[in-house]
Structure 1
Amino acid sequence: MEILIRSISGVIKDYRDREFGLLDEEHVLRWINQFDSEDRIVVLEETNRILKKNYISKDVFLAFVSGLVTSEKFSSNSPRAFWNNISLCNIQINGNSQSELVELLNNEVYRNYGVRSLINGHSEHHIYIDDFLFSGNRLISDMRKWISESAPAQCHVSVVMMGWYQGGIYYVQKQLKKIALENKKNITFKYWSKEDFRLDNRLMTKNDSHVFWPEASVAEIPSVSSFIDSLNTKPKFRVANGKKNKVFSVDRRSQYEAAMLKAGIKILGFCDNPNIVVKPLGYNRFDGFGFGSTVFSYRNCPNNNPLAFWWGDPTYSSAHPFGKWYPLMQRSTYGN
């Protein structure tokens, strides 16, 4: 147990630049002790596993940006001229995450070619960058406003992410084409990411998914059964198939999902009237257990991840819903 706790602490040590204090072994121990005793080892084993695979550290993101800037496939055979004529989109409506990433990208361009790309300027080629795409709702919201108010009548947009969920990128591709047409603008889009960081969350491939997607056996747990009864639409369950999964271990996945689901339902019970998008396994606008993301970033823990990872704020009293659960990776805000 001590080895696992030490390993998890080592992975998340750069989270939010220690805004929430030192995420040391004591911190991880305090978090894990909130789970049922029979689940603690499995939660530690699997959390350690998915963090090592899907935690986007600052160094990892910098390496991705560096590779992008120098890639001839992305920037053509004349990269200096390419970057000198690009406009970087800094258009996110909520938060400042895109500003940070645009700055990282522009600094890398300058380091390699001695030029700085335009930001929100006039160009035939624009780049929208973020670290990861989940549902796609934020990107669509940002781009809808930009397309209607700022985009030229004709241009190309490169959407750049380290990775994405397949359900989200499908939704984005469909919606952005539609928005451009509605605004009578000739905009072409191309989508870029690391090929091995394209994760599956589609219903048709649920049994091979890379998100928390519980099996039907969780309905035997009293708290889960009550939660299911409260839903308008009954959830679709994953069926174990014994196949190797690049995110979860085959033999521990079911217990891990059940443990995180039980914890999320417990957290929801702290709230008198939770927002309808707040689900045990992460924010989601659809009925069910939640989005179930398994991706983390040094900048913030996505609210699409199970509540047990990020819910809570130890500065609140134990009488407040935020004070009743100690988070592994506290979020900087509680916005949607």
Structure 2
Amino acid sequence: MKDTASLISSLVAVVRDYGNMGFNDEHVQRWLDQFPEEHHKVILTELGNILDKAYLSEMETKRMISEIAADRNIFPEGVGEVRFMDPKQGKGTQKELLQLFDAVISEEHGISIEECGRGEPASYIYIDEAIWSGDRFISGMRTWVREFDDLHAISRMDIIVLAVHTRDLDYITEQMGKILPYTRISLWHFIEFENRLQHAKKVFEGYWPSSGLGYNEETTDYISHIVKMKSRTRDKEIPILRKSAHPKSDAYFTGSMNRKLVERLFLEKGVEIANHMKKPEVYMKPMGYDASRTLGFGSYLVSYMKISEHCPLVLWWEGDGWYPLFPRNEYEGPHPM
């Protein structure tokens, strides 16, 4: 295993362009020092391995946007024939992506996204960074369709995201079918994180702490509180902690023992953060924002624009005595999809 300094430098090389903040070795070391020193190398090794696959740099994001703009499956009659949903109302990462897309099609097609789809278009485009649980996305879609007197007027809807999490994808698909019953709906994405809780025996691409690890008292109490909020049937179907031997496949962590250690450290520190928030929020869980009764959503995804609240608190929370690895100050906005 590399020494700590080399591991820090390797991590910085992957995420150097995050947030225009001058991400450097000293910043990583300050964050790392909040964990026991004997675990620093494992944390850096595993986090570096995850982000090497799950981090979206500005260069990679621009490449994806260019591919989308040139895709004739999405734009069979050219970009000028579709309407982009709410190009002026996007916030946070969505606003950034719309600006990138606008720059690409302006250069390559000589038209802006505001000029696209003038008149009465039948085809619409929704662009955002990712789909997580989908709650806010579905809520926004319900609001948007109220603008139409006749839903038959929306013949096609293309949802374009850089990444998708599969946990609630069936729910999202079902709800979209109800919201737009006469519309042909397509979902386009580059990265897929398989994080269906029911499929965790085979694969689970997200942070989900394991059972049987002997968590500290504060964490054990926190887990017990979540368990009491769930019905016995639901807890058996989707347990709070994943089974120790699952998943069988893992492309992000280097090994099961390291995964268990890192997830335990992130959970215990996350519980500490959650319990000491000055303004606690019921859905802000140790492993990330989640309205479901879990320990948190646990997303791996981080982009150069902003880290999602669906990622573990230890990575982005700032304040209440905690120093973040990925500060969210640069891009304030609503909770992601």
User: Alpha carbons of 1:119 and 1:266: their partners in 2 closer, same or farther (altered >3 Å)?
Assistant: farther
Alignment of 1:58-137 (within 5 A): 58-76=58-76, 81-90=77-86, 95-117=91-113, 118=115, 122-137=120-135
Deviation readout 1:220-240 (Å, 9 max, x if unpaired): 432321111222236142332
Partner-residue secondary structure (3-state), 1:157: strand
Structure 1 residue 245: deviation in Å?
A: 1.3
Give the equivalent residue in structure 2 for 1:146.
Answer: 144
Judging changes above 3 Å, is the alpha-carbon distance between structure 1 residues 335 and 128 closer, same or farther for their aligned structure 2 residues?
Answer: closer
Extract unaligned runs of 5+ from structure 2: none
Shift of 1:49: 0.9
Shift of 1:151: 8.0
User: How far apart in 2 are the matches of 1:85 and 1:334?
Assistant: 30
Q: Is 1:16 equivalent to 2:19 in the alignment?
A: yes
Identity of aligned residues (%): 25
Instruction: Give the 3-state SS of the residue equivalent to 1:72 in structure 2.
Output: coil
Aligned residue for 2:157? 157
Give yes or no for contact 1:158–1:189 (8 Å, CA) kept in 2.
yes
Q: Which residue of 2 aligns with 1:201?
A: 195
Q: Name the structure 2 match of 1:55.
A: 55
| CA–CA distance in structure 2, aligned partners of residues 255 and 41 of structure 1 | 12
Shift of 1:292: 0.6
8 Å CA contact 1:90, 1:102 repeated in 2? no
Contact 2:142 2:179 in 1 (8 A): yes
Aligned to 1:300: 306
Residue 326 of structure 1 is matched in structure 2 by 323
Q: Which runs of 5+ in 1 are unaligned?
A: 313-321
- With 51-60 and 113-122 compared, the bigger mean Cα shift is at 113-122
Letter in 2 for 1:141: S
Aligned counterpart, 2:36: 36
Offset, 1:323: 4.3
Range moving further from structure 2, 288-297 or 239-248: 239-248
Other-structure match for 1:315:
none
Answering whether residue 229 of structure 2 is matched by residue 229 of structure 1, we say: no
What is the letter of the counterpart of residue 99 of structure 2? Answer: E
- 1:275-323 Cα offsets, whole Å, 9 max, x none, are 11010000101122100111001111100000000000xxxxxxxxx14
Aligned partners of 1:92 and 1:288: how far apart in 2? Answer: 35
Question: Is the Cα–Cα contact under 8 Å of residues 92 and 333 in structure 2 kept in the other structure?
Answer: no
Classify 1:258/1:236 alpha carbon distance in 2 versus 1 (closer, same or farther; 3 Å).
closer
Aligned-residue offset at 1:64: 0.5
TM superposition shift of 1:202: 1.0
User: What is the distance in 2 between the residues matched to 1:12 and 1:192?
Assistant: 25
Residue 294 of structure 2 corresponds to which residue in structure 1?
288
Deviation per CA, 1:84-119: give whole Å up to 9, x if none.
Answer: 111111269773432321221122123222233436
In structure 2, do the counterparts of structure 1 residues 92 and 44 end up closer, same or farther at CA, with 3 Å as the change threshold?
farther
Scaled by the length of structure 2, what TM-score is found?
0.86
SS in 2 for 1:167: coil
The separation in 2 between residues aligned to 1:310 and 1:124, in whole angstroms, is: 40
Moved more, 41-50 or 301-310: 41-50
Alpha carbons 1:92, 1:98 under 8 Å: kept: no
1:309 is aligned to 2:315: yes
CA, structure 1 residues 159+152, in 2 after alignment: closer, same or farther (shift >3 Å)?
A: farther
1:275 correspondence with 2:281? yes
Higher relative contact order (CA 8 A, sep 6+): 2
Letter of the structure 2 residue corresponding to residue 68 of structure 1? I
Partner of 1:179: 179
